Amino acid sequence: MKKLIALFLALMATAGGVRASSEGIAWDKFPEKKLTDLAALQHGAKLFTNYCLNCHAAAFMRYTRLRDLGLSDAQIKSNLMFSTEKMGDTMKVALDAKDAKDWFGGLPPDLTVIARSRAGHGGTGADYLYTYLRTYYRDETKATGWNNLAFPGVGMPHVLWELQGQRTAVYKEEVDAHDPAKTTHVFAGFQQVTPGKLSPQAYDDAVADLVAYLTWMGEPVAQQRVRLGVWVLLFLAVFMVIAWRLNAAYWKDVK
């Protein structure tokens, strides 16, 4: 029995070490106020269709749903529909699966529920995407010429590089506290190589808009569900008081 307990503890310690080593960098907090900002969501939809929808589909989202963002059919057709002319169509891409496998090594994932699927130890899926899209840097050792702090060895190139510009990652050596003879490379920040179309602050704001749209797309009725939930709880609270008083009235004469 003691051996089994010792083996169990050793396995738990090993699993904990593996989990800790795979966690990577801390995720930045996504500004959640963007989720209720229609202008931000509309801008995010524009960024999505212009930069993401070339390779990544959103096969469970119809263009008609964009009306919920305050957009008219004319605005949707003029600014957001490039691969179809039917409002009822879903956001699919013309990229052939075979070509995708030859070019990228596999078909780019569908992004309809990407924000919901990326939640983890570091926070929500929105936190992960907000960090991921802001931590790309140039790495000539990679086939695409790009790498990412949140997803080391990422296969997708930096599609927003024109907006952010090109950066390199700067590392510094630190002495190991437990072994002074050993040094480790620690990330120390980014160095801007070429400027982008946007300032760093404006780029972060644009990424927040894009992530807000990706989050909204995963559950378009989330805000309505929250508002409805509040009214349901208020109704139940009032009904509980009425039921309690009725129960008291029915049983007051019963001995």
Annotated binding site: 52, 55-56
Taking each helix axis from N to C end, the angle separating 200-218 and 125-132, rounded to the nearest 10 degrees, works out to: 150
Within 10 angstroms of residue 186's Cβ, the number of other Cβ atoms is: 9
> Which residues partner with 45 through β-bridges?
none
Let me know: does 45 contact 66? Beta carbons within 8 Å: yes
Residues 93 and 56: beta-carbon distance below 8 Å: yes
Does residue 150 contact residue 24 with C-beta atoms inside 8 Å? Answer: yes
* Bind-site residues for heme c: 52, 55-56
Task: Count CA within 13 A, CB hemisphere, residue 84.
Answer: 17
CA distance 11 to 16: 9
Instruction: Tell me the CA end-to-end span of the chain in Å, nearest whole number.
Output: 59
